[in-house]
A and B are shown apart, each in its own frame.
Chain A
Amino acid sequence: MSTDIDGAMRRTRGYWYVDGLTEIGAGGVFLAIGALFAVEVAAGDAGVLGGVSALGLPVVVLLGTWLAGRVVTAAKRRLTFPRTGYVAYPAASPARRSLTAVLGLAVALAVVVLLRLAGDWPALDRATPLLDGVAVAIFLMFMARSALVSRFYLLAALAVALGAAAAAATPDERAGTALFFAAMGLAFVLSGAAVLRRYLRATEAAADSPA
């Protein structure tokens, strides 16, 4: 038996991703973001829907994340916990929540600055989907390392590739962003579904034993 303490703790954190459900949930949120930008592109600059992403993006992200979390947890209760066991992870400490909020604000500020710069610099405007891909890739690589989930490295590489492809496909930054999020959402859903299928085939409901 290995007594690799850090490894045991990381594998325990990685258990949340063992069934692919989280990827399917994240994929749903990404598809919703892609749809939001697609609506904006279709509506053009005129009309009520012309600037829908400015208002709709925080709503879709927050509501989508909350909803996906509820659905994923409910699915885990039904599919995962009876098969390979139940785990509850500690809630983030107030310090960690504050750090997350500060980082979130910093990222939002960076996006605003980038968008302002993009107006004066078309090349940056066009590279927005690629920057989205790089940001998603950085997050995925952090998750892959902290929870020892190697397939996230592949998804990170795919995020950069899809970002580059979306940037190359269209000069319209919003259309490129819609393309990137839709493609990445689909990739998440497909990856999660494949992992879930393999997980369900490899496991069956287990009986508890007295401790």
Chain B
Amino acid sequence: MSAPSAPTASEPPRDPAALDRLIHEPARLVVVAILAAVDEADFVFLQRQTNLTAGNLSSHLARLEEAGYLEVEKGFRGKLPHTLLRLTADGRRAFERYRRELRRTLGEDE
């Protein structure tokens, strides 16, 4: 996915189409916002925080992973499967860029 250029503070409000559509989807936006606040979190935490079904959350995570925004580490805790999730550096940059673009689109000062 091509990343939109980072505008300067003096630029006028942007067209909403400039927003990163992958992050802009409401469920994925919450997922990315949560992961941006931590180093890493597991699937259980994310599912509880988002109230998404396991299947729905998995599909959103797969989209983020495909885009290179998310790193998924599957393992076991004892005999139980344990999935760790963390934003990549690209993912964090994309999220920060998205927030800047959103503020600009809404005409808010930074």
Contact = CB atoms under 8 A, between A and B. Distances in A.
Q: How would you classify the secondary structure of chain B's contact residues: helix, strand, loop or mixed?
A: helix
A101 interface: no
A211 B49 contact: no
A209 B43 contact: yes
A3 interface: yes
B83 A9 contact: no
Interface in B71-85: 72, 74, 77, 80-85
A208 B81 contact: yes
Contact of B30 (A3, A10, A91): A3
A12 B29 contact: no
Contact of A211 (B37, B48, B83): B83
Given A1-B51, A211-B61, A211-B83, A87 B41 contact: yes
Interface residues of B, number: 37
Contact of A9 (B33, B43, B51, B58): B33
A88 B45 CA distance: 11
A17 interface: no
A12 to B, nearest CB: 4
Contact of A86 (B44, B58, B80): B44
Given A3-B30, A87-B41, A11 B99 contact: no
28 contacts: A1-B50, A3-B26, A3-B30, A8-B33, A8-B37, A8-B49, A9-B33, A9-B36, A10-B37, A11-B49, A12-B34, A12-B49, A15-B45, A15-B49, A82-B77, A85-B45, A86-B45, A87-B38, A87-B41, A88-B40, A88-B41, A89-B38, A91-B39, A208-B43, A209-B43, A210-B58, A211-B58, A211-B85
Given A84-B45, A85-B42, A210-B74, 20 more contacts: A1-B30, A8-B34, A10-B37, A12-B33, A12-B38, A82-B77, A84-B48, A85-B43, A85-B44, A85-B45, A85-B49, A206-B44, A207-B44, A208-B44, A209-B43, A209-B57, A210-B83, A211-B57, A211-B61, A211-B72
**A-B complex: 5 closest residue pairs judged by Cβ atoms:** A85-B45, A209-B54, A85-B44, A12-B37, A9-B37
